[in-house]
């Protein structure tokens, strides 16, 4: 395979001499089911991949290992999660938190935002009641 490593059958240390991408100098790919670096271990059994295990079990590998999980210690935080608009965390791993994530927490979009109206009959009634209380006659204490 011309990768510079000799076939193990001929006394070398290349465990797959038909594939130039598999040899003792190759980096272990942690999710392909192949012993890429010829050390006898594959994927998560390989020491090079142990740190890249899906620690929280949500099906997404840590971003530090090339995955897309921005918090691999919390199974509720991953790219498929919905943004919780009140917790200060980036739940869906899009780089935005809470109301900075207008796609998920926009005022008019997903229901996370607050809806308010200007004025309204309830506010006017409350204002009128407060005015009446201020205008009522006061009794003097003796």
Instruction: Quote the distance between the C-alpha of residue 99 and its chain's center.
Output: 16
The residue count of the chain comes to: 142
Of 69, 109, 72, which Cα lies nearest the Cα of 92? 69
Examine the domain organization and report whether 83 and 108 are in the same domain.
yes
Residue ranges making up the domain that contains 37: 1-53
Examine the domain organization and report whether 129 and 85 are in the same domain.
yes
Instruction: Pick 40 or 113 by higher pLDDT.
Output: 40
Give how many domains the chain has, as a whole number: 2
Find out whether 79 and 59 touch, Cβ atoms under 8 Å. no
Of 85, 19, 37, 81, which Cα lies nearest the Cα of 56? 81
Q: How far apart are CA 65 and CA 17, in angstroms?
A: 28
What percent of the chain clears pLDDT 90, i.e. is strictly above it?
38
Reported confidence tier of residue 110, pLDDT bands at 50, 70, 90: very low
Examine the domain organization and report whether 116 and 65 are in the same domain.
yes
Examine the domain organization and report whether 88 and 134 are in the same domain.
yes
């Amino acid at each position: 395979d011309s990768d510079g490593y000799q076939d193990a059958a001929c006394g070398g240390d290349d465990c797959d001499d038909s594939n130039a991408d598999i040899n003792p100098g190759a980096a272990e790919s942690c999710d392909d089911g192949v012993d890429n670096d010829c050390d006898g271990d594959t994927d998560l059994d390989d020491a090079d991949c142990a740190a890249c295990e899906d620690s929280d079990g949500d099906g997404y590998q840590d971003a530090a290992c090339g995955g897309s999980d921005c918090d691999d210690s919390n199974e509720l935080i991953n790219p498929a999660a919905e943004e919780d608009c009140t917790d200060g965390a980036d739940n869906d791993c899009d780089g935005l938190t809470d109301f900075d994530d207008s796609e998920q927490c926009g005022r008019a979009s997903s229901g996370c935002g607050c809806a308010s109206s200007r004025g309204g009959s309830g506010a006017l009634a409350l204002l009128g009641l407060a005015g009446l209380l201020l205008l009522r006659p006061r009794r003097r204490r003796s």
